[in-house]
Chain A
């Protein structure tokens, strides 16, 4: 079945780059997403990438997609304390799931001043 895996924790220093990694299983996924969740809040869409792209850049965010290895990464340049949050990778389900999002367990990013 579909599954999305992420490491649970990442700690970086303010000003460094953060790289959050994700692997997924459904090779038919056309869109992959990164969401951010701050404490007590819902999910905020950060960015997404279409499966025919290798890379997408949006200001401080860079998404890399290796479709062969089913590996997705999110790089945050010049990480700030305000970036501390949980980051979720998600793929769109297919077949029986018919398009709902399949989420990883989330990576908690801690940014130290």
Chain B
């Protein structure tokens, strides 16, 4: 079974641009969560999608958004990029909602975004 696939692996953007990252979950998984990893803040939860609906959201500004398609694939978008958005963005999938008992989250390799 293929794991969680994130594309692209690396991205370089400039301030003010926008970016879209993609995540394909493990086959059969319906929940996709996104996390931001930076050296200073560590791993922080962005949002979770399940059945094409955002179910949970972390404490990030509205410039960060996402969506989920009927095949469970998810995209996240960051508009008006800032230098501080440089990070590793990780996607995780699970069979059901992340909050349900014993739902294990499996992570992809991440997309490393550099904002210049």
How far in angstroms is the closest Cβ of chain A from B58? 7
A41 and B109 contact, CB distance less than 8 A: yes
Does B11 count as interface, using CB distance less than 8 angstroms? no
The number of residue pairs between A and B whose CB atoms lie closer than 8 Å in the complex comes to: 63
A100 and B48 contact, CB distance less than 8 A: yes
A104 and B42 contact, CB distance less than 8 A: yes
B56 and A97 contact, CB distance less than 8 A: yes
Give which listed residue, B55, B105, B110, contacts A98 with CB less than 8 A.
Answer: B55
B104 and A48 contact, CB distance less than 8 A: yes
Interface size class of A (residues with CB under 8 A): 20 to 34
Does A30 count as interface, using CB distance less than 8 angstroms? yes
Given A43-B90, A92-B99, A98-B99, A103-B107 contact (CB < 8 Å): no
Does A77 count as interface, using CB distance less than 8 angstroms? no
Query: Within 8 Å CB of B55, what residues of A?
Result: 98
A42 and B98 contact, CB distance less than 8 A: no
Interface size on B, residues (CB 8 A): 27
Query: Within 8 Å CB of A41, what residues of B?
Result: 109-110
Q: How far is the CA of A104 from the CA of B43 in the complex (A)?
A: 8
How far in angstroms is the closest Cβ of chain B from A100? 4
How far in angstroms is the closest Cβ of chain B from A37? 9
Does B12 count as interface, using CB distance less than 8 angstroms? no
Of the listed residues A43, A45, A101, the one surrounded by the most CB atoms of chain B closer than 10 A to its CB is A43
Of the listed residues A30, A42, A92, A106, the one surrounded by the most CB atoms of chain B closer than 10 A to its CB is A42
Does B1 count as interface, using CB distance less than 8 angstroms? no
Q: How far is the CA of A88 from the CA of B35 in the complex (A)?
A: 14
A101 and B105 contact, CB distance less than 8 A: yes
B56 and A45 contact, CB distance less than 8 A: no
Given A31-B102, A42-B90, A105-B42, A100-B58 contact (CB < 8 Å): yes
Q: Which residues of B contact A (CB under 8 A)?
A: 4, 6, 33, 35, 42-43, 45, 48, 55-56, 58, 90, 92, 97-110
Can you give 20 contacting A-B residue pairs, CB < 8 Å? Answer: A31-B101, A40-B109, A42-B4, A42-B90, A42-B107, A42-B109, A45-B106, A92-B99, A97-B45, A98-B48, A99-B98, A99-B99, A99-B103, A100-B45, A100-B98, A101-B35, A101-B92, A101-B98, A102-B45, A103-B42
